[in-house]
Amino acid sequence: MIIIDVLVSIFIVYLVVFIIYLLGNKKKRNSDTYLCGERTTAIKVKYKVRWIFYASLFIAFDATIVLVAITSLSLNIVTIIFLVLITLSLLFIPKEEERDE
Amino acid sequence: MNKIAMILIWVLLSFIFALFYEWFDRKVYARFQNRVGPQITGYKGILQPLADFIKLLKKESIFPVGSNTFLIIFSAISSVALIFFILLFIPLYDFNAPLSFNGDLILLFGIGVLIDILIIITGYSVACPYSNAGAAREAEMIISIEIPFGVSLATIIAISKSISIKENLIFQSLGVPLIIFAPLGFIAYILSSMAKVEKVPFDAPNAESEIVAGWSTEISGRTLALFRLSSDLDLFFLASFGAVIFLGGPTLPYFNLPELLFFNQILNFIILFIKTLGIIFLITMIRSLTARYRIDQVIKFFWKIIIPLAMLNLIAIIMFGLG
């Protein structure tokens, strides 16, 4: 029953927002980008390897949150050890390079 | 039919309150800077956010050549619709909201991440270097701010031993607000909420002095109107959600209103309204008193200070069995 409620709610809110969108000005045109009329293409942002560590930790922590949430009714020593270990993993974040100011 | 009417009323209320809280935020922010803020449209400028919204809605949309227009429009509509949807889980005047089930806290967390990802999609869909840089910054920020946000929710779950907003509220109405047990979790929640709605000092993804307007540089017309509305709704959602899970929502500690009479519901509604206003005032005060962090500083701040503090609170709760 709750699934039907959720689906109906999502349908209604999308419908409402779409109607609001349709009430707006329908005129649409393409133009050059902001850079003083100079045509540019999408740039690729350079990533440092450090971001991969952050991203990996992000995934691990995100999984932890769900895990803790699900096991919240029967939290035990294993959960605590797991949380401590994952907190200690923050120490493995590579040292920041000094920025030239 | 009753349910549909309730959803529509909730959506309308959310819309009105989101615009009201934007006005309050702008007014307080202006007062902190010794300005008067909006004051022409309506009483003390209270209708200014609505006027801005209508004005943007009525302007033509311009997209840069080479942009993925469908993705931009889809993201704009989805970001507003999804926030309207998660606002249906917020109980405004008693323990019940239009939507509620066991596990809704996790769903809200998940949809919150999804809304942030829509911003990244928008930034990368626009063929403009500023938008791309803003999207990249947003992506970098998400991997830092979602964790303390989630850990603060996990702390609440560990205390109340429930993954439902309703049960969480009942738990608080029988005792004290959970902020007493999770002060560090509350700090983490507020700061990560500020970063989620890109408020100073965590507004690196749309830093106007560096990358024009970041991911929203080339967004205009009704698409921009929807994105701005989604930002207002997000602020309203985060403040009211924080008021519900940390401050007891529409209830007062040790003060139960047993009969759900109309008067009691009004009183409860006012209590939640004041608590939400308090959180928005706190956010506005922090953004008035601080300067923007660089993106690397934001990441360092969250990973090295806020996440360990939030985790410390969570571990302490679990170890000492508080709550």
Nearest to B106 among A45, A66, A87 (CB): A66
User: What pLDDT is recorded for position A27?
Assistant: 75
ipTM of the complex: 0.83
pLDDT tens profile B147-188 = 888 888 888 888 888 888 888 888 887 778 888 888 998 999
Please state the rounded mean pLDDT for residues A60-85. Answer: 66
Segments making up each domain of chain A, as ranges: 45-95
**Closest residue in B to A56 (Cα–Cα):** B143
Averaged confidence pLDDT in chain B: 84
DSSP state of A96: P
- Confidence at residue B129, expressed as pLDDT on a 0 to 100 scale: 77
Helix (H) or strand (E) holding A30: strand A28-31
Q: Which residue has the tokens 């009201």?
A: B20
Between residues B176 and B273, which one has the greater pLDDT? B273
In which band, very low, low, confident or very high, does the pLDDT at A101 lie, cut at 50, 70 and 90? Answer: very low
Q: Nearest C-alpha of chain A: how many angstroms from B88?
A: 8
Rg (CA), chain B: 20
B9-13 long-range contacts (CB < 8 A, ≥24 apart) are: B10/B87, B10/B88, B10/B92, B10/B98, B11/A12, B11/A13, B11/A16, B11/B84, B11/B87, B13/B92
Cα dist. B39→B26, B27, B30 in Å? 11, 9, 11
Helix (H, G, I), strand (E, B) or coil at A66: helix
Q: What is the mean pLDDT of residues B225-244?
A: 91
What is the structure's pLDDT at A42?
53
Of the listed ranges A73-82, B45-54, B288-297, the one predicted with least confidence? A73-82
Distance (Å) from the C-alpha of residue A74 to the closest C-alpha of chain B?
9
